[in-house]
Amino acid sequence: MKKGRIFVSLLTSLVIVGSSLTGCTYKGGTPAATGTADSRGGGKQVLRFVYGVDIPNFDPQLANSMVNQTVGTTIIEGLVRMREGKIVPGVAEKWDVSEDGKTYTFHLRDSKWSDGQPVTANDFEYAIKRLCDPKTAASYAYASFYIQNAEEINSGKIKDLNQLGVKALDDKTLEIKLKAPGKYILSVLAGTNFAPVRKDIIEKYGKDFAAAPDKMVYNGAFTMTNWTRQKEVDLAKNPNYWDAENVKLDEVNILQVDNGQTMVNMYESGDTDMLDLVSAAYDKYKKDSKQNVLYYDTGSVEYITFNAKSSNPLVTNVNFRKAIAYGFDRAEYVKLSSKDLNLPAERLILPDISGVKDKFNKEHPLHYYPAKADVTKAKDYLAKAMQELNISDPSKVSFKLLINDAYKTYGEAIQAILKQNLGITVKLDIAPYADQIDRCLKLNYDVACQGWNPDYDDPMTYLDLWITGATQNSAGTSNPEYDKLIREAKSTADQKARGDLMAQAEKILLDDAYVMPYDIGRGAYVVKPGVKDMYRYFVGANPDFVYTSVNGK
């Protein structure tokens, strides 16, 4: 999610996130190879892989991380799904679009929840209203603001939830009215937050809904059979899934391991079926001619945020922020952190994202921050900041950098680069992943390493995070001109004008320098022989294993 979700520093020693490098993108499922079903599964097809961070929760409307997107969409299916970057039918087998592009009518197939109850349009209406309802306090409520009256309801300007542009016309027909037309809306609706939920189940369990596998129901390809926080999630094939006959896996075991070498050992000993490659592991496997290293698009960007609400005068000084932005050597960082697997980020919107007729970055080229540090310019900005703050010696300049515990070695690379180029001190403020998410959303930090995986294939997935008061605005920024451009882009039907508005907004955001992009990830991985039809892409579940098999068939 995104896809993702507040994707805070998931460039760990276990999980690679990133964007593709043109010419190096792997499309499609992993190649089939001769193999047999997992012998430890008693003849069952069992897929096993590792995530390097904890899964915060499984409540669809409260989901806010990439891991939620990956697992969540397989256990609770929405109207549509994303597969290899394309929208495919989910619970909705077809849909109609009005002539003006602002009304979508979804026709639901016959499908069931895991307890045998039918999935209805009312379940979707209830879920989307729940997402928008300010009482839910969903950090992803803003994703619904394309829908008529969603923003007004979430802000409290409209009290009546029935004014939301979502309505069940009957049990099998759902109508969604938009503020403005946009080809990206189906990609938005494929996100976990728009998945259906049952009102009776939520009322039964209250705040404990989705707190354990037996406190929710499922309509996806799998059900959850075990969830041990910070350790393991186990899934089983859902016999009630509408397309169960084409789901080949019997079980999926997702392990949480926070040590890169342990992950490598598990893969090489046959305890997992897939290995994400970073740093030394990537270097090792790419040199091995017997290994088929695969690459994929994820669209993620890592950035440093400066808390606009911070009491630290350094953080709120624009010249200091620009000193960091120009003094940070992105090319050196990706060399140190990923053996040049990743790419320097010179802007926020990444290369894979679609524009009107081509990729957005081709239609609106921008090289805002240099890949190589501009130390002269950075020192000029630093000198201005020091003068304004009455600091005479760069060695006296220091700040705390909030970073998750799995990302420590990369924080040390940031420390070294800024010390070398600017002579300043960065102190690492290390926290567990879940705590880091919480602190960033609550603006309980000074400077932080964060990042984002796109929720849908459109530049807005990176941009509307930063409007004033947005629930995911983890920098606390506020720029009236930026807000105006984003709101105009969201309301116009002219797609070219919309792109121009978003390009202008991106420049304003980068010029304010509260958000400093520095790293584009590039995914690389290997899989065991026999694993077939696993897909990895920059939008949607990553990996997408709904139709995967592990015996080569």
What confidence score (pLDDT) does residue 36 get? 40
- CATH code given to domain 67-213: 3.90.76.10
**DSSP letters of 239-294?**
TTSTTGGG---SEEEEEE---HHHHHHHHHTTS-SEEE--HHHHHHHHT-TT---E
Using 50, 70 and 90 to split pLDDT, how confident is the model at 279? low
- Helices 408-422 and 375-388 cross at an angle (nearest 10°) of 80
For the chain, the helix, strand and coil percentages under 3-state DSSP, each to the nearest 5: 35, 20, 45
Mean pLDDT, residues 231-248 taken together: 96
Percent of the chain with pLDDT over 70: 92
- What does the pLDDT look like over 441-463, one tens digit per residue? 999 999 999 998 888 889 999 99
Per-residue pLDDT at 1 exceeds 60 = no
Q: Which residues in 204-239 are b (16+ Cβ under 10 Å) and which e?
A: eeeeebbeebeebbbbbbbbbeebeeeeebbbbbbe
Of 231, 280, 298, 233, nearest to 258 (Cα)?
231
**Helix spans in 311-353 (H):** 318-327, 330-338
Res 328 pLDDT > 70: yes
Q: What is the pLDDT at residue 552?
A: 65
**515-520 and 173-177: which strand pairing?**
unpaired
What SS3 state is found at 295? Answer: strand
Q: How far apart are CA 370 and CA 350, in angstroms?
A: 15
- Show Cβ contacts of residue 507 under 8 Å, excluding neighbours closer than 6 positions: 366, 368
Compute φ and ψ for 524, nearest 5 degrees. -140, 140
Q: How far is the C-alpha of 401 from the C-alpha of 291, rounded, in Å?
A: 37
Instruction: Provide mean pLDDT across the span 112-119.
Output: 98
- Domains of the chain, by residue range, sit at 67-213, 301-520
Q: Which of the 8 DSSP states describes residue 150?
A: H
Residue 86 pLDDT class (50, 70, 90 cuts): confident
pLDDT of 3 over the 80 cut = no
- Rounded mean pLDDT, 247-274: 92
- Give me the CATH topology for the region 301-520: Dipeptide-binding Protein; domain 3 (3.10.105)
Distance CA 321, CA 204 (A): 49
User: How much is the pLDDT for 454?
Assistant: 86
Which pLDDT score is estimated for 362? 96
Write out the H or E segment, with its range, that includes residue 232.
strand 232-237
Closest to 91 in 3D by CA, of 127, 120, 130: 120
Task: Report pLDDT for 11.
Answer: 31
Confidence (pLDDT) at 280: 64
Instruction: Point out which residues pair with 47 in neighbouring strands.
Output: 252
Three-state SS at 367: coil
- Averaged pLDDT score across all residues of the chain: 88
DSSP notation for 478-545: --HHHHHHHHHHHH-S-HHHHHHHHHHHHHHHHHHTSEEEEEE--EEEEE-TT-BS-B--SSS-SSB-
Whole-number percent of the chain with pLDDT over 90 = 71
| 143 has a pLDDT exceeding 80 | yes
Over residues 125-141, the mean pLDDT reads 95
Which whole-number Å values give the CA distances from 530 to 27, 29, 33, 527, 551, in the listed order?
Answer: 18, 12, 5, 8, 5
Name which of 60-69, 97-106, 121-130, 181-190 the model is least confident about: 60-69
Please compute the mean of the pLDDT values over residues 485-501 and round it to a whole number: 93
Q: Which two tokens stand for residue 498?
A: 């919309």
pLDDT tier, 26 (very low <50, low <70, confident <90, very high otherwise): very low
The pLDDT score that the predictor gives to residue 337 is 85
pLDDT classification of 42: cutoffs 50, 70, 90: low
* Element of type H or E holding 301: strand 301-306
Tell me, what's the pLDDT at 244?
A: 97
Sign of the torsion angle spanned by Cα atoms 217, 222, 225, 231: negative
Which residues 6+ apart lie within 8 Å of 517 measured at CB? 301, 302, 303, 345, 346, 347, 348, 369, 510
Mean pLDDT, range 98-104, rounded to an integer: 96
Question: What digits encode the pLDDT tens for the residues 284-320?
Answer: 888 887 888 998 877 789 999 999 999 999 999 999 9
Instruction: Please compute the mean of the pLDDT values over residues 57-73 and round it to a whole number.
Output: 85
Asked whether 103 and 97 are in contact (CB, 8 A), the reply is yes
SS3 466: helix
Is pLDDT of 423 > 60?
A: yes
The token pair that represents 19 in the structure block: 């964007």
Q: CA-CA distance, 549 to 248, in Å (whole number)?
A: 6
3-state secondary structure of 553: coil
Whole-Å CA distances, 540 to 64, 242, 251, 504: 13, 20, 21, 27
- What is the token pair recorded at 378? 């950075």
Alpha helices (runs of H) in 57-120, residue ranges in sequence order: 66-75
Nearest to 357 by CA among 498, 260, 468: 498
524: amino acid identity, one letter: A
User: Nearest Cα to 19, choosing from 538, 551, 468?
Assistant: 538
CA dist., res. 328 & res. 415, Å (int): 10
- Is the peptide bond prior to 344 cis by the omega test (within 30 degrees of 0)? no
Cβ pair 520, 540 in contact under 8 A:
no
Give the Cβ contact number of residue 136 at 10 Å: 16
Whether the pLDDT of residue 502 is over 90: the answer is: yes
